[in-house]
Amino acid sequence: MGFSFLLIHLAILVAIYGILAISLNLIMGVTGLFDMGHAAFFGIGAYATAILMTHFNVPWIIAITTSFALAGLVAWLTGIPTLKLRGDYFAVVTMAVGEIARSVFRNWMDVTRGPLGIPNIPPAEFLGVTFTPGIPFLGLSFVLLALMLFLSQRLIFSPFGRILKGIRDDEGAGVEALGKDSYRHKMRVFVIGSGMAGLAGSLFATYIGYIDPSTFTLWLTNFILLIIILGGKGNSIGAVIATALFVFLREGVRFLGLPTSIAAPLQQWIFGLLLILVMLFAPRGLVPERTDRWGPPSAPTPGPSV
Partner 1 sequence: MAFLRTEALTKKFEGLCAVDHVTFEVPRGIILGLIGPNGSGKTTLFNLITGFSQITEGQVYFEDQPIGGLPAHTIAELGVARTFQLVRVFQSMTVMENMMLGYKGHVGEAPWKAIRRGQEYVQHDATALAKAYELLDVVGLRHAANERAENLPYAEQKMVEIARTMMGDPGLLMLDEPASGVAPALVNGLLEYIRLLRDQRGKTIVVIEHDMRVIMNLCDRIVALDHGAKICEGSPAEVSRDPNVIEAYLGGG
Give the integer Cα–Cα distance in Å for 142 and 271: 25
Binding site for partner 1 (CB under 8 A): 151, 154-155, 158-163, 165-166, 168-170, 173-182, 185, 188-189, 192, 234, 289, 291-294, 297, 300-301, 303-306
- How far is the CA of 125 from the CAs of 96, 208, 263, in angstroms? 35, 14, 37
Residue 224 and residue 50 in contact, taking contact as beta carbons nearer than 8 Å: no
In angstroms, what is the minimal distance from the CB of 61 to partner 1? 20
In angstroms, what is the minimal distance from the CB of 293 to partner 1? 5
Q: Which is nearer to partner 1, 157 or 248 (CB)?
A: 157
In angstroms, what is the minimal distance from the CB of 163 to partner 1? 6
Count of Cβ atoms closer than 10 Å to residue 260 Cβ: 8
In angstroms, what is the minimal distance from the CB of 301 to partner 1? 6
Question: 124: Cβ–Cβ under 8 A, 6 or more apart, which residues?
Answer: 60, 64, 130, 131, 137, 140, 203, 206
Give the integer Cα–Cα distance in Å for 119 and 93: 31
Q: Which is nearer to partner 1, 160 or 248 (CB)?
A: 160
213 secondary structure, DSSP code:
G
Q: Which is nearer to partner 1, 43 or 166 (CB)?
A: 166
Q: Which is nearer to partner 1, 102 or 165 (CB)?
A: 165
Give the integer Cα–Cα distance in Å for 129 and 147: 19
In angstroms, what is the minimal distance from the CB of 305 to partner 1? 8
Please state the length of the chain: 306
- How far is the CA of 180 from the CAs of 20, 160, 164, in angstroms? 28, 10, 10
Q: For residue 259, give the amino acid letter.
A: P
Q: Which is nearer to partner 1, 30 or 124 (CB)?
A: 30
Q: Which is nearer to partner 1, 106 or 162 (CB)?
A: 162
Q: Which is nearer to partner 1, 151 or 218 (CB)?
A: 151
Q: Which is nearer to partner 1, 173 or 279 (CB)?
A: 173
Pairing verdict, β 124-126 and 129-131: antiparallel
Question: 250: Cβ–Cβ under 8 A, 6 or more apart, which residues?
Answer: 267
In angstroms, what is the minimal distance from the CB of 237 to partner 1? 17
Q: For residue 160, give the amino acid letter.
A: F
Residue 249 and residue 304 in contact, taking contact as beta carbons nearer than 8 Å: no
In angstroms, what is the minimal distance from the CB of 170 to partner 1? 6
| Chain mean position to CA 166 | 21
β-pair partners for 118: 211
In angstroms, what is the minimal distance from the CB of 234 to partner 1? 8
Give the integer Cα–Cα distance in Å for 153 and 289: 12
